[in-house]
């Protein structure tokens, strides 16, 4: 059975990190909305050209365009044996379109990584990005190494944030969208637009929810169990 996995979760829940790990472990593509758009634009497909024009104008990409990009990406040979979708769908109409796209394939497995808003705000306000290589800095991992801790965590309020990227030594900076007031607005938008997806998927036997407030290793363990249980119940 192919694993066709949709990862849901609010900003800061860690779904991107976990999605990449699941995809790597299973040998299937990790597909994010950003990746799909960039690939379509670079390939110069009709949908990609439309998406590129919209993004160049500073406008949001419409459901029609993003659904077309997803359809093109999931039709590629590497996605026939399974995939992990990260960042799509974001709305119920997109979810309905995805159901039509994957009709005839093995059922979608949907996992929601849940965490309280205050935990998400704490995580995101401590996140940093490297100004040189662009990598997201694992601030918590750097702090653990400095303090001799081995268990993965997320840092605690008041801990000093490292100044340099552990990969290339570049200066770490705060992302513009990781300011608290911006984060709270992103979470409000998520609650309004994306949480209804949970109600859309909840009644399916292939839906599971995982506690994202745990340390990453525990989330990964529970996610693996949830995916296996959902796939078995398909």
Torsion 61-46-92-121 (CA) sign:
negative
Average pLDDT over residues 14-21: 92
Same domain assignment for residues 11 and 92: yes
Q: Is residue 46 located within the same domain as residue 158?
A: no
Given the DSSP bridges, would you call strands 128-130 and 136-137 parallel, antiparallel or unpaired?
A: antiparallel
Q: Of residues 170 and 85, which shows the higher confidence score?
A: 85
Domain annotation covers residue 183: no
99 and 155 belong to one structural domain: no
Same domain, 94 and 158: no
When divided into structural domains, the chain yields a total of 2
Point out the residues that are catalytic: 15, 90, 127, 175, 186
- Regarding whether 208 and 162 lie in a shared domain, the answer is no
Domain that holds residue 64: 3-116+193-232
Q: What is the pLDDT of residues 94-142, one digit of tens each?
A: 999 999 999 999 999 999 999 999 999 988 887 787 888 877 665 554 4
Question: According to the model, what pLDDT value does residue 174 have?
Answer: 74
- Burial class of residue 88 in the structure, from the number of CB atoms within 10 Å of its CB (0-12 exposed, 13-18 middle, 19+ buried): buried
Residues 12 and 49 in one domain: yes
Domain contains 59: yes
Examine residue 180 and state whether it is found in any structural domain, yes or no: no
Q: Residues 45, 146: one domain? A: no
Provide the pLDDT for residue 161: 55
Q: What is the CATH number of the domain that holds 32?
A: 3.40.50.300
The share of the chain scoring above pLDDT 70, in percent, equals 85
pTM equals 0.78
Same domain for 110 and 39, yes or no, is yes
Same domain, 162 and 210: no
Same domain for 158 and 202, yes or no, is no
DSSP lists the bridge partners of residue 6 as 85, 110
Percent of the chain scoring above 90 in pLDDT: 47
Domain membership of residue 73 (yes or no) is yes
Cα separation, 211 vs 214, in Å, equals 6
Residue 122 lies in a domain: no
Highest mean pLDDT: which of 41-55, 95-109, 150-164? 95-109
Interatomic CA distance for residues 74 and 77, integer angstroms: 8
- Res. 159: pLDDT tops 70: no
Q: Quote the mean pLDDT of the chain.
A: 84
């Amino acid at each position: 059975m192919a694993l066709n996995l949709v990862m849901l979760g609010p900003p800061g829940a860690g779904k991107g990190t976990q999605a990449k790990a699941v995809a790597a472990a299973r040998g299937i593509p990790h597909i994010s909305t950003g990746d799909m758009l960039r690939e379509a634009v670079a390939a110069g497909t009709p949908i990609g050209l439309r998406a590129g024009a919209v993004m160049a104008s500073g406008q949001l990409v419409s459901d029609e365009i993003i659904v077309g990009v997803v359809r093109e990406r999931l039709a590629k040979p590497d996605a026939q044996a399974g995939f992990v979708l990260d960042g799509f769908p974001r709305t119920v109409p997109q979810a309905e379109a995805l159901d039509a796209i994957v009709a005839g394939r093995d059922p979608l497995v949907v996992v929601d990584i849940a965490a309280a808003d205050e935990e998400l705000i704490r995580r995101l306000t401590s996140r940093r990005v490297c100004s040189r290589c662009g990598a997201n800095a694992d601030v918590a991992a750097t702090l653990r190494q400095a303090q001799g801790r081995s268990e993965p965590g997320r840092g605690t309020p008041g801990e000093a944030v490292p100044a340099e990227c552990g990969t290339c030594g570049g200066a770490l900076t705060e992302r513009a969208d990781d300011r608290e007031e911006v984060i709270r607005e992103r979470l409000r938008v998520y609650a309004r637009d994306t949480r209804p997806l949970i109600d859309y998927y909840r009644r399916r036997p292939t839906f599971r929810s995982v506690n994202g407030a745990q340390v990453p290793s525990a989330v990964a363990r529970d996610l693996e169990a949830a995916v296996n249980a959902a796939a078995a119940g398909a």
